[in-house]
């Protein structure tokens, strides 16, 4: 029996993606018809799970007309949602590809500011949607006004429900998580830059990355720690072993959604009780698939499967 997957997005967005002949200042830039997608870390994780044949419920804070539009977009994609009232108007974000240079410019809005009363409402929604067999995924940026200890508070709520928490975060929230043990934090993921910042030292080799990840596991921060290494794949460590997975080099069209595709694929495999190295393999395959697609598209299933077959997994 597969575990239920619940993703949490406190700072969702409606993503607009377009192209322009050339991005220069001062002129009106005539853009192509935009691709409009629901966005935000947890939402993209749920979308990736759906693309790969699974199902995840997206718990989303919404507000205003943009929030209503967001729910319509999710319904069109067949992603079940649990919506609760967030402050203000749901944000919008824009990415534009300069067709002359091939470069992508991403304009990300901060989102509405949360007040003290908004966080308990979010946690109450999580409690209602979580049960003992739930894998709870917190991914994406925290809204302005939400304290850095929110993931730790969420971990306590999840532990009280007997569920498992998967977190992909950065900045002050990541540093706060790394300060002490967490009973319910099952998986903690970060990218290489974040890992080096947290470690306070360079992590030039896979073995260096694995050693750092194991330090966090031994400290009790999480049972599994994953550090992405960009084109060099990802490293995973738990109490028993460390693994590295990488795909052969491929085209990089857009990096948008690669991390969320990894988390979605990894969580889907974890929900099916796959061995941890196979979860890592599917995650890396999905991330590689996402970077080969345009705009805000995620992990195309056929490409993900091709990548999975080509992916190399090594025990460190």
Listed by start position, the domains of the chain span 4-315
In this predicted model, what pLDDT tens digit does every residue of 9-50 receive, in sequence order? 999 999 998 999 999 999 999 999 998 999 999 999 999 999
Rounded average pLDDT over 137-148: 88
> 161 pLDDT band (50/70/90 cuts)?
confident
> 296 pLDDT band (50/70/90 cuts)?
low
**Mean pLDDT across the chain:** 90
Rounded average pLDDT over 124-144: 88
Q: What pLDDT was estimated at residue 250? A: 66
Q: What pLDDT was estimated at residue 294? A: 63
Q: What pLDDT was estimated at residue 293? A: 66
Rounded average pLDDT over 161-168: 89
> 301 pLDDT band (50/70/90 cuts)?
confident
At CA 54, angle to CA 48 and CA 59, rounded to 5? 65
Whether the pLDDT of residue 209 is over 90: the answer is yes
Rg over CA atoms, the chain: 19
Q: What percent of the chain has pLDDT over 90?
A: 58
In this predicted model, what pLDDT tens digit does every residue of 54-88 receive, in sequence order? 999 999 999 999 999 999 999 999 999 999 999 99
> What distance lies between CA 150 and its chain's CA centroid?
16
Task: Report the candidate in 284, 289, 277, 292 with the shortest Cα–Cα distance to residue 311.
Answer: 284
Look at 106 and 242; give whichever has higher pLDDT. Answer: 242
Catalytic residues: 260
Q: What pLDDT was estimated at residue 251? A: 67
Using CA atoms of 123, 124, 128, 130 in order, give the dihedral in degrees to the nearest 10.
Answer: 20
Whether the pLDDT of residue 1 is over 60: the answer is no
Q: What percent of the chain has pLDDT over 70?
A: 95
Rounded average pLDDT over 167-177: 88
Rounded average pLDDT over 239-266: 83
Strands 35-39, 13-20: pairing is antiparallel
Look at 183 and 185; give whichever has higher pLDDT. Answer: 185
CATH superfamily for 4-315 is: Ribokinase (3.40.1190.20)
- What lies within 8 Å, CB to CB, of 96 at 6+ separation is 17, 18, 19, 20, 23, 29, 31, 104, 105, 107
Whole-angstrom Cα distance, residue 29 to residue 52? 36
């Amino acid at each position: 029996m597969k575990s239920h997957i619940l993703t949490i997005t406190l700072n969702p967005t409606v993503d607009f993606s377009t192209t322009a002949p050339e991005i220069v200042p001062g002129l009106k830039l005539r853009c192509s018809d935009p691709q409009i997608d629901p966005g935000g870390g947890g939402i993209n994780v749920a979308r990736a799970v759906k693309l790969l044949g699974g199902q995840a419920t997206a718990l989303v804070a919404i507000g205003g007309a943009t929030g209503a539009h967001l729910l319509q977009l999710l319904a069109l994609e067949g992603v079940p949602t649990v919506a609760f009232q967030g402050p203000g108007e749901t944000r919008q974000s824009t990415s534009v590809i300069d067709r002359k240079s091939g470069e992508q410019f991403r304009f990300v809005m901060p989102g509405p500011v949360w007040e003290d009363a908004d966080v308990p409402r979010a946690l109450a929604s999580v409690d209602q949607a979580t049960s003992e067999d739930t894998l709870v995924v917190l991914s994406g940026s925290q809204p302005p006004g939400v304290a850095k200890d929110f993931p730790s508070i969420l971990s306590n709520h999840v532990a009280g429900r007997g569920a498992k928490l998967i977190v992909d975060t950065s900045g002050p929230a990541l540093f706060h998580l790394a300060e002490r043990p967490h009973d319910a934090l099952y998986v903690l993921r970060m990218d290489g830059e974040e890992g080096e910042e947290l470690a306070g030292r360079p992590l030039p080799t896979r073995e260096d990355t694995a050693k750092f990840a194991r330090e966090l596991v031994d400290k009790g921060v999480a049972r599994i720690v994953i550090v992405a290494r960009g084109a060099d794949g990802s490293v995973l460590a738990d109490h028993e072993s460390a693994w590295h997975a990488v795909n052969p080099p491929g085209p990089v069209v857009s990096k948008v959604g690669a991390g969320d595709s990894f988390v979605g694929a990894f969580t889907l495999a974890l929900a099916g009780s796959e061995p941890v190295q196979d979860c890592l393999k599917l995650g890396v395959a999905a991330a590689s698939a996402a970077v080969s697609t345009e705009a805000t598209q995620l992990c195309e299933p056929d490409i993900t499967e091709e990548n999975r077959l080509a992916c190399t997994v090594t025990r460190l």
